[in-house]
Amino acid sequence: MEITIDQRAHVTVVAVAGSIDALTADALVLAMGEQMHAGNTRLVAAFDGVEYTSSAGLRVLLATLKEARQRGGDLRLAAVQERVLRVLDLSGFTSILKCYPDVGAAVASFPTHHS
Amino acid sequence: MGRAEDAGGGREPGAGVRRHSLPAAGLADLAAVRAFVAAACDEVGVGTTVGEALVLAADEVCSNIVLHGYGPGTPGPITIEVERAADGARMTIADEGRAFDPADAPAPDLDAPWEQREAGGLGWYIVRRMVDELRYERRSGVNLVTLVKRAP
Amino acid sequence: METSSVTHDPSVMPPTPAPARRGGRVALVIGSGSVKCAAALGAYRVLQREGIEVDMLVGCSAGSLFASMIALGHDPETCASMAAGLWTSDLTKLPDRRALLRAAFPRLFGFDARWGLRSDARIMARMVEAYGDRTFADARIPLFVTATDFHTGEQVVLRDGRLVDAIRASIAIPFAFRPHEVDGRLLIDGFMSDPLPVGVAMREGANVIVAVGFESPYQTRISSAGRFAFQLSSIMTNNLLKASFAFHGLAHHSEVIAVIPRFEQRIRLFDTEKMPYIIEEGAQAMSEQVPYLRRLLAAAVPAA
């Protein structure tokens, strides 16, 4: 599993590629945690390269989501593949976080001003 | 590392049991487990919906066995079998770790940090919703989880 | 509709000045519950009195009626009288005569998804009278109304267009009112996908979520096929309510404060004459949670 960080003006895009399972999830939660501790709490997880996730991936998303929101930010998803979206839907995750068809839309969804 | 073998049955597509054995299973084996289950379902002739569900189920069950059945640092054997069922596929996963009935999956520990919580809850919930039958038995120190997914 | 100013009850102490709120966004979610949803008006009145601003409103089923009235800027008293005029038992009394024929002879009279036993002429007329052509854009507080896609079962969040259409979709009670089409989707009552849509508030960035929700009543006597069906519906709805609420509560980064009024009297679906009592119980239940709410808001981090 590969993780690429792309710092935009007001949002951090974390692009993930590969499969997220019990083995690879730790690396992802660490990467997300690192961003948030650095003050980057407006996160877009670009999932176009994620072909599979197990509940381990869901745990990472939820932990990151809660931490980001606690810090005044948010985690939003972009370009989730159908198979992964099915798992997100089944476990109720689509009801609690925003998913966008592409990274551009997800990035644009964050207000550009600082409140 | 185990290898996939076609045990029993004839040459016709669909027939026979496909088996994948891991003598000392670790999280690093999960990718191979998923690949095996996907290939087995394909050979057995069920559709992608069944395949996807069983791949996820195998992942969840094996993760739990590695992390909680045997415990990290003390790996043990896991055997996975896939065969055709009436209108779908049946998967059996056997291990010799501590007794773990999915029906007893512990409630989430709300105070523990997420990284430390029991792997039980969320994964099992998803598995239960994705498969049609889920059975657990323990026979002579062996845990046997049987899952059946029928084609939609 | 004229907006009247908030009237002060002379028996209530003048409100103490509210401490400055540091950035927590408050959502008021009003779930399905027929006339009991009026309890949310009592809760809102308390929040206003305490100087706690509501930053968003989410309404489901009858809850969407109250949520939209509050969002338009009406004070609780005006909302109560509007609701009393709208939500009366004769709403479901007008039969749709053709509907029974269609059910009995589907091939002869044609049967499709747009089916309901009652005519919605009365409810539509009353809603048009109350809301006119007002849209979501007329709401002073961001408003979200939930319905359910009849073909896929998914929750549909309505946030623009005419309020009348959104509310009509949200209260499209199966069997009673036919599904309502909005933007090419056939929609039915919001309670079928989630009777208390806390998730919507979470997605939209709320910190503290005040959730006013109700269990669907269980029947005491199963004396008709209608009651039989209603009992089944209540069983499923209540299980969905509990499961969904538990999940959202666990997944939310802050608190979901459940405002659960203690109704000692039995309240039937259209007992609008009991509204003053219902509103009082809602106010009482909210008051009990105010100190905790304040602490949560004081600790909330402003949006990044």
> Percent of chain B scored above 70 by pLDDT?
76
**C13-55 residue pLDDT tens:** 444 444 444 568 999 999 999 999 999 999 999 999 999 999 9
Identity of the residue in B63, B115, B130 whose CB atom sits nearest the CB atom of A29: B115
Examine the pLDDT at B13 and tell me if it is beyond 60. Answer: no
| Local structure of residue A67 (DSSP, 8 states) | H
Q: How far apart are the first and last CA of chain C?
A: 38
Confidence of residue C230 (pLDDT cuts 50, 70, 90): confident
Examine the pLDDT at C1 and tell me if it is beyond 50. Answer: no
Which of these is catalytic: C32, C34, C55, C61?
C61
Say yes or no for a CB contact (<8 Å) between B115 and A19.
no
Nearest to C297 by CA among A76, C289, C67, C141: C289
CATH number of the domain encompassing residue B55: 3.30.565.10
Confidence of residue C268 (pLDDT cuts 50, 70, 90): confident
* A27: exposed, middle or buried (Cβ count in 10 Å: 0-12, 13-18, 19+): middle
List the single range of C9-23, C199-213, C249-263 with lowest mean pLDDT. Answer: C9-23
Confidence of residue B14 (pLDDT cuts 50, 70, 90): low
Say yes or no for a CB contact (<8 Å) between C203 and A71.
no
What does the pLDDT read at residue C120? 86
DSSP string, C115-138: --SB--HHHHHHHHHHHTT-BGGG
φ/ψ (deg, to 5) at C209? -115, 120
Whether B13 is covered by a domain: the verdict is: no
**B76-109 residue pLDDT tens:** 999 999 999 988 999 999 999 988 766 665 544 4
Neighbour subunits, C (≥3 Cβ pairs < 8 A) = A
**C70-110 residue pLDDT tens:** 999 999 999 999 988 888 878 777 888 888 888 888 888 88
Q: Is the minimum CB–CB distance between A76 and chain C shorter than 8 Å?
A: no
Neighbour subunits, A (≥3 Cβ pairs < 8 A) = B, C
Examine the pLDDT at B57 and tell me if it is beyond 90. Answer: yes
**Which A-chain residues 43-72 have CB contacts (< 8 A) with chain C?**
62, 65-67, 69-72
Examine the pLDDT at C4 and tell me if it is beyond 90. Answer: no
Whether B6 is covered by a domain: the verdict is: no
Confidence of residue B4 (pLDDT cuts 50, 70, 90): very low
Considering the entire predicted model, what is its pTM?
0.80
Q: Could you confirm whether C165 is annotated as catalytic?
A: no
Class of domain A2-108: alpha beta
Residue from C203, C242, C296 whose CB has the most chain A CBs within 10 Å, to mutate? C203
Where do the structural domains in chain A lie, given as residue ranges?
A: 2-108
Say yes or no for a CB contact (<8 Å) between A70 and C199.
no
Q: Which amino acid is at C140?
A: R
Q: Is the minimum CB–CB distance between A92 and chain C shorter than 8 Å?
A: yes
Residues of C in contact with A72 (CB under 8 A): 23, 301-304
Say yes or no for a CB contact (<8 Å) between A59 and B122.
yes
Say yes or no for a CB contact (<8 Å) between B63 and A56.
yes
Instruction: Tell me which chain C residue has its CA closest to the CA of residue A10.
Output: C304
CA separation for the pair B110, A114 (Å, rounded): 33
| Residue range(s) defining the domain that contains residue B136 | 21-150
**A19-69 residue pLDDT tens:** 999 999 999 999 999 999 999 999 999 999 999 999 999 999 999 999 999
**How close B48 gets to chain A, by Cα (Å)?**
10
**How close B41 gets to chain A, by Cα (Å)?**
17
How many CA atoms lie within 13 Å of C39's alpha carbon, on the beta-carbon side? 27
CA separation for the pair B56, A58 (Å, rounded): 13
Interface residues of B toward A, Cβ cutoff 8 Å, are 27-28, 30-31, 34, 52, 55-56, 59-60, 63, 66-67, 114-115, 117, 119, 122-123, 125-126, 129-130
- Residue C66 · residue C259 · CB < 8 Å: no
Highest mean pLDDT among B4-13, B135-144, C142-151, C218-227: C142-151
Confidence of residue A106 (pLDDT cuts 50, 70, 90): very high
Say yes or no for a CB contact (<8 Å) between B66 and A22.
yes
Examine the pLDDT at B112 and tell me if it is beyond 80. Answer: no
What does the pLDDT read at residue B103? 60
Residue A40 CB neighbour total at 10 angstroms: 20
- Rounded to whole angstroms, what are the CA distances from C283 to B111, C16, C47, C279, C288? 32, 17, 9, 6, 9
Whether B2 is covered by a domain: the verdict is: no
CA separation for the pair A102, A104 (Å, rounded): 6
Say yes or no for a CB contact (<8 Å) between A95 and C199.
yes
Residues of A in contact with C27 (CB under 8 A): none
Residues of A in contact with C252 (CB under 8 A): 66, 96
Residues of B in contact with A86 (CB under 8 A): 52
Complex prediction ipTM: 0.87
Whether B33 is covered by a domain: the verdict is: yes
Q: How do B142-150 and B88-95 pair as beta strands?
A: antiparallel
What are the residues whose beta carbons fall under 8 Å from the beta carbon of C304, sequence distance 6 or more? A41, A42, A71, A72, A73, A114
What does the pLDDT read at residue C152? 94
Whether B11 is covered by a domain: the verdict is: no
**Which C-chain residues 243-272 have CB contacts (< 8 A) with chain A?**
244, 247-248, 251-254
Neighbour subunits, B (≥3 Cβ pairs < 8 A) = A
**C242-259 residue pLDDT tens:** 889 888 988 888 889 989
**How close C147 gets to chain A, by Cα (Å)?**
14
What does the pLDDT read at residue B1? 39
Q: Could you confirm whether C216 is annotated as catalytic?
A: no
Residue with tokens 């009849």: C150
Nearest to C39 by CA among C291, C296, C281, C226: C281
Residues of C in contact with A66 (CB under 8 A): 251-253
What does the pLDDT read at residue B6? 41
CB pairs under 8 A between A and C: 49
Identity of the residue in C202, C203, C302 whose CB atom sits nearest the CB atom of A115: C302
Q: What is the mean pLDDT of chain B?
A: 82
Q: How far apart are the first and last CA of chain B?
A: 34
Q: Which amino acid is at A57?
A: G
What does the pLDDT read at residue C246? 83
Examine the pLDDT at C121 and tell me if it is beyond 90. Answer: no
Whether B120 is covered by a domain: the verdict is: yes
Identity of the residue in C205, C247, C303 whose CB atom sits nearest the CB atom of A92: C247
Confidence of residue B10 (pLDDT cuts 50, 70, 90): very low
List the single range of C11-15, C67-71, C267-271, C299-303 with lowest mean pLDDT. Answer: C11-15
Whether B41 is covered by a domain: the verdict is: yes
Examine the pLDDT at A18 and tell me if it is beyond 60. Answer: yes
Question: What's the number of domains chain B is made of?
Answer: 1
What does the pLDDT read at residue C19? 46
Whether B103 is covered by a domain: the verdict is: yes
